[in-house]
Homo-oligomer: A and B are copies of this chain.
């Protein structure tokens, strides 16, 4: 029996209100810091086509690292297992932008969801597409069914101007021979890619193919084969929420990908995709209210992969 999603979203919406002031909006990208921490939106897209939403679910927000999932899915759909020669599949056990591990492991990033790994994916896409960021944008439009998905140029610019650590990471990988395109090209594309915006509703739809064995539910378009889709789910669970993946799996128990814009996409394989947005982050860089909302969602719906 399907849970009463509408009622559950209302319960969650009420419960998160006191948490909203506790989160801290990301400040290292100046443009992102302008958003109020008070926002909260949530949307569910079931594979049967039914959809539910609450709060600021129709407001666009900066996807940031959530786009790493789309870029990875695109690269994986084109290059297959060859990508794993250049990026690993293990949790990092270190803050998401640490150079230490990258140096010890000689330029091969631990996984595609840390910045180093996402830069390698952007580099891989740059070899196949004229512009990797445009390719990710097109891909995002296809999987969300929303042709208006676009960049936020002000955010991209702001990130580019404060991208010294990403430059450091990219040059280090270049030094180890694991970046083939010019550093500036890769960073610029990556910053634009990160600036893509969506609403919760759009994000839930965009992620639904990963809950549906790789196929877009409303169109039947096969983005990834079922096995590959399952494998990306596994990667989301072990590496999708920065250095808090273990804790997130423990509390929420769903494959998920988060971003410092405050968005999180999570999946109940075979059933639904759920997107939540609240810009206030916890100490690990994940949306504070968003994580709590998903924890409550799995409890109230009795959905979990475990």
State the CA gap A145–B167 with chains docked (Å): 41
Set of chain B residues within 8 Å of A47, measured between Cβ atoms: none
A100 within 8 A of B: yes
A238 within 8 A of B: yes
A243 within 8 A of B: yes
For residues 73 through 102 of chain A, which have their beta carbon under 8 Å from a beta carbon of chain B? Answer: 88-94, 98-101
Known A-B contacts A91-B90, A99-B100, A305-B269; the reply to A246 vs B235 at CB < 8 A is yes
For residues 152 through 202 of chain A, which have their beta carbon under 8 Å from a beta carbon of chain B? Answer: 164-165, 167-172, 174-175, 183
Interface string of A259-292 (1 = CB under 8 A from B): 0000000000100000000000000000000000
Set of chain B residues within 8 Å of A249, measured between Cβ atoms: 234-235, 237-238
Chain B minimum-CB-distance residue to A227:
B299
Set of chain B residues within 8 Å of A306, measured between Cβ atoms: 230-231, 233-234, 237, 255, 269, 305
State the CA gap A230–B251 with chains docked (Å): 9
5 A-B pairs within 8 Å (CB atoms) are namely A90-B243, A93-B94, A99-B103, A230-B306, A305-B306
A4 within 8 A of B: no
Residues of A within 8 A of B (CB): 88-94, 98-101, 103-104, 110-111, 164-165, 167-172, 174-175, 183, 227, 230-231, 233-235, 237-239, 243-247, 249-251, 253, 255, 269, 299, 304-306
Set of chain B residues within 8 Å of A234, measured between Cβ atoms: 246, 249-250, 253, 306
CB proximity of A186 to chain B, nearest CB, Å = 13
Can you add 13 more A-B contacts, CB < 8 Å, to A88-B246, A165-B171, A230-B306? A90-B246, A92-B93, A98-B103, A99-B100, A100-B100, A111-B246, A165-B172, A171-B171, A235-B250, A237-B238, A238-B250, A239-B246, A305-B305
